[in-house]
Amino acid sequence: MKYIRRALEIDSILEDESLFLFGPRMTGKTAYIENELQKEAILSITFLDGDTLDAFKQNPVLLRSMLHGKDEGFVIIDEVQLFPRILLDVQHVMTHSDIQFLLTGSSARKIKKSGNNLLGGRAGIIYMHPLVWKEVEDKNPSLDDILGSGMLPKVFQSKNPQILLRNYVRAYLETEIAAEGERRDLDKFNDFIAFAASENTELMNFSNVSRDIGMSADTIKNWYQILVDTFIGHYLRPYRKGTKRVPVNTAKFYFFDVGVARTAARMPVPSENMTEYGKLFENYIFMELKAYMDYNMTDDGFYFWRTREGYEVDFVIEGKAAIEVKTSKNITNKELRGLRAFMEEGVVKDYILVCREQFERTTEDGIRIIPWKLFLTQLWNGDII
């Protein structure tokens, strides 16, 4: 598989600060390290190597001796959740030297459950996402290709993406929940994954999921939290600072990758005639917005807006932009209804509708209608947020 250079740039940060780099498996953390960072590191360790993991388990303070005589530079420790005990030594080294650390992992939950904290705030946190538009723009993928395969690097470049996606859902998600001590409920959890994926982008309702899966609401909440802690999904909170209309107070849930979400929901490869096509498109734009904000470490509030009367805007970047996503190739006034209602709140500067029209245009009241590829190019150029 050819390596695709990533949009994430953290080498300059590591000169002054240690970092946790979190993200689900197969987002490309290890490949990123090997191709873009490893040559600059004074030491690189991966606990995916069984012999390395065994050596550290037998000698928990091995790190100190490996770094003896070194006082600066940065160290890479890959998949740190497999041996969270090492964080005690990491903290010791950080306290007694100018060495910085890049610590990668696919589960913050495992670190917390082990009794180790995330270095007590001594390290920043950044997230690795699947591929983003800036990284694949030169390949000019179609929307159908993206919604079909998703953006995990190996899957995106595969000739058989559906096989890889099925294996990911069956093996990785089951492995994660088994590692969280829920082995006795694997069948129920698999049903939950399918249900959560089918409800992807929708308002959350723990009671409905509980009833359909046959597990308690507390268990369902815990399982959603496992998805969050393993970076498989993200909550999107409602924007509630408006004053003109009463907003809902229920969050939405988005999977980290549109291909994984579709496969987990047991949907076929999408076509524009599918009712779920719009949901998948919305999920994809969410992925790009979330990745852009994480990679650029912005502090902008990220929300959706929905009122009890049914007005809705898919994404609100606080103080900056309201963004609606539609699959239409010919936008009508009806599809601008939510943005126009949100305009009355007067809390952002730009109003944008992302769609499949051919050309960019602006309505008389200032709503920018932007083709999806152009929108993503503008996003990664820093012209949207």
4 assigned to some structural domain = no
Q: Is 202 a residue whose pLDDT tops 70?
A: yes
In tens, the pLDDT along 156-170 reads 999 999 999 999 998
Within this chain, do residues 218 and 321 fall inside the same structural domain, yes or no? yes
385 assigned to some structural domain = no
58 assigned to some structural domain = yes
Output the pLDDT for position 67. Answer: 95
- Give the CATH number of the domain where residue 29 resides: 3.40.50.300
In tens, the pLDDT along 233-289 reads 999 999 998 778 888 889 999 999 999 999 999 999 888 888 899 999 999 999 999
Output the pLDDT for position 182. Answer: 54
For the chain, what is the domain count? 2
Within this chain, do residues 326 and 367 fall inside the same structural domain, yes or no? yes
In tens, the pLDDT along 344-364 reads 999 999 999 999 999 999 999
Within this chain, do residues 251 and 329 fall inside the same structural domain, yes or no? yes
Output the pLDDT for position 115. Answer: 57
In tens, the pLDDT along 315-336 reads 999 999 999 999 999 999 999 9
Contact 263, 161 (CB under 8 A): no
**Listed residues 93, 128, 163: the one ending a domain:** 128
195 assigned to some structural domain = yes
- Which of 16, 12, 10 is CA-nearest to residue 98? 16
Within this chain, do residues 87 and 164 fall inside the same structural domain, yes or no? no
- Please indicate, yes or no, whether the overall pTM of this predicted structure exceeds 0.85: yes
Q: What is the 3-state secondary structure (H, E, C) of the chain?
A: CCCCCCCCCCCCHHHCCEEEEECCCCCCHHHHHHHHHHHHCCEEEECCCHHHHHHHHHCCCHHHHHCCCCCEEEEEEECHHHCCCHHHHHHHHHHHCEEEEEEEECCHHHHHHCCCCCHHHCEEEEECCCCCHHHHHHHCCCHHHHHHHCCCHHHHCCCCHHHHHHHHHHHHHHHHHHHCCCHHHHHHHHHHHHHHHHCCCCECCHHHHHHHHCCCHHHHHHHHHHHHHCCCEEEEEECCCCCCCCECCCCEEEECCHHHHHHHCCCCCCCCCCCCHHHHHHHHHHHHHHHHHHHCCCCCCEEEEEECCCCEEEEEECCCEEEEECCCCCCCHHHHHHHHHHHCCCCCCEEEEEECCCCCEECCCCEEEEEHHHHHHHHHCCCCC
**Listed residues 128, 146, 181: the one ending a domain:** 128
6 assigned to some structural domain = no
Torsion angles phi and psi, residue 56, rounded to 5: -75, -30
- Residue numbers of the domain that contains 81: 13-128
Within this chain, do residues 115 and 148 fall inside the same structural domain, yes or no? no
Within this chain, do residues 62 and 95 fall inside the same structural domain, yes or no? yes
1 assigned to some structural domain = no
Within this chain, do residues 45 and 116 fall inside the same structural domain, yes or no? yes
3 assigned to some structural domain = no
Residue 343 structure tokens? 């305009």
Within this chain, do residues 308 and 348 fall inside the same structural domain, yes or no? yes
Within this chain, do residues 178 and 252 fall inside the same structural domain, yes or no? yes
**Listed residues 109, 128, 147: the one ending a domain:** 128
Within this chain, do residues 149 and 97 fall inside the same structural domain, yes or no? no
7 assigned to some structural domain = no
Within this chain, do residues 245 and 290 fall inside the same structural domain, yes or no? yes
Within this chain, do residues 273 and 162 fall inside the same structural domain, yes or no? yes
Q: How wide is the angle at C-alpha 275 spanned by C-alphas 273 and 279, nearest 5°? A: 115
